[in-house]
Each structure stands twice: as C-alpha cells, then as structure tokens.
C-alpha cells in the first residue's frame, strides 16, 4: 500500500519537523512519508534539517509572490505537483485563508502549544502562549494537534497532551518542556493517525 504523502510547512528552526523526521526513522510514523518541506522563510533552519534528511524543500514567500492569493496559489501548485495527501503545519507562521483550507478539508493538521481552547486563536503563537499561561496562573498547560480550518486554532482536536507548570517556570523553560514532552510526542502520533486514515480511504476508493 502506498504511503500517505506528507508536506510539512515551516517558518523557523524546524524542531517539530525534526520530531517528524525522527518519528519516520523510528517507525512511529509508518503510514505516511514526508516527501516535501515548504518554508515561507528563506533562511529557516528547518530547510537545513530537510536537506540533511534528504527531503526536497522549497521556499515560497508572500513577498515574492506579491500577496496572499498568489502566495496560496504557489503553495497549491507545489502541493499538487508533489501529489500531497496531508499537510502538516509545524511552526508555520502564516495564516491560511478559507479558500486554501477548504480546498484541503481534513487534510491539514497543526500543532499549538496550549490545551485548546485555552490560550489560542489570533495573536497566540510562540512564546506569547506560554507568557499568557503563566500570567493567568494555570497549573497545567500542554499541546494540541488539530485539523486546520478558516478559524485560527478552530479545527477539530485530534490529540492533546498535558504538561504541569512548575512554580519557578519562565516562558522559555515552559516552552521547552511543552515542546519536549507534548509537541514532539503528539505531532508524530497525530500525523500517523491521520496518514493511516487517509491510506484506508484510498484503499476503499480503489
């Protein structure tokens, strides 16, 4: 059975991309295969990670394309050219329009560094999420993998994992623990779950 063809969209260091690459190597991600990495940042270290893993990579920026619509058109063209079945947003710092997300309904997943519906939606990304969790005084946070729709962090939840907040946590220490104990665990697990489902759907249609 052909594996689900996965594209990972990135903007920065690519630690979640690395977690997916590692999961592919150690057999956690077995129903899918990363066949393309797309960055909207030409100097993202994630591109180096892709090169080291032998995965084809492209850079597509809104600036070079001249706006949101041509940017999304360029993404769609690349995804279709590589026959992508599943899109994984792994620290992709660009909001995608309903025009884009509806085209790939239940085929885009994202990891968010909180337990949705807490500390999510517009303006909640990166360190800001952990700053908000500490400011609010919650005792437990974590990460969520969800399907992507037109509402930021609004799609159906696939997996969540909780992480305790410690009394001396800083936003940076909390971010590190959430990545290591939650994001890097559940993103590969969710990618496998959805890849397996896509495989079954393909099999059914054949």
Write out pLDDT tens, residues 29-40.
999 999 999 999
Q: Up-side HSE of residue 83: CA atoms within 13 Å toward CB?
A: 6
At 39-95, the pLDDT tens digits run: 999 999 999 999 999 999 999 999 999 999 999 999 999 999 999 999 999 999 998
Mean pLDDT for the chain? 96
Give the bridge partners for 58, in sequence order: 38
| pTM for the predicted model, two decimal places | 0.95
Helix axes 127-136, 171-178, angle to 10 degrees: 110
From 82, 112, 130, 146, the catalytic residue: 112
Domain that holds residue 128: 4-205
For residue 82, indicate whether it is catalytic: no
* Domain tally, the chain: 1
| Helix H or strand E encompassing 87 | strand 86-89
- If phi > 0 it is left, if psi is from -120 to 50 it is alpha, else beta; for residue 43 that is alpha
Q: Up-side HSE of residue 17: CA atoms within 13 Å toward CB?
A: 32
Give me the CATH number covering residue 111: 3.40.50.170
């Amino acid at each position: 059975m052909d594996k689900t063809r996965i594209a990972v969209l990135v903007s920065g260091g690519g630690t979640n991309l690395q977690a997916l690459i590692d999961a592919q190597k150690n057999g956690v991600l077995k129903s899918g295969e990363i066949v393309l990495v797309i960055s909207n940042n030409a100097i993202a270290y994630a591109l180096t990670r892709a090169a080291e893993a032998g995965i084809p990579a492209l850079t597509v920026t809104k600036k070079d394309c001249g706006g949101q619509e041509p940017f999304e058109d360029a993404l769609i063209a690349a995804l279709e050219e590589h026959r992508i079945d599943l899109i994984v947003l792994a620290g992709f710092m660009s909001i995608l329009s309903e025009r884009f997300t509806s085209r790939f309904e239940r085929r885009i997943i994202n990891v968010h560094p909180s337990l949705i519906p807490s500390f999510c939606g517009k303006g909640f990304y990166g360190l800001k999420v952990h700053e908000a969790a500490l400011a609010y005084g919650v005792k437990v946070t974590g990460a969520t993998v969800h399907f992507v729709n037109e509402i930021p962090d609004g799609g159906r939840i696939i997996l969540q994992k909780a992480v305790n907040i410690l009394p001396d946590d800083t936003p940076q220490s909390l971010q590190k623990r959430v990545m290591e104990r939650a994001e890097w665990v559940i993103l590969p697990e969710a990618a496998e779950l959805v890849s397996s489902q896509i495989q079954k759907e393909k099999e059914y249609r054949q």
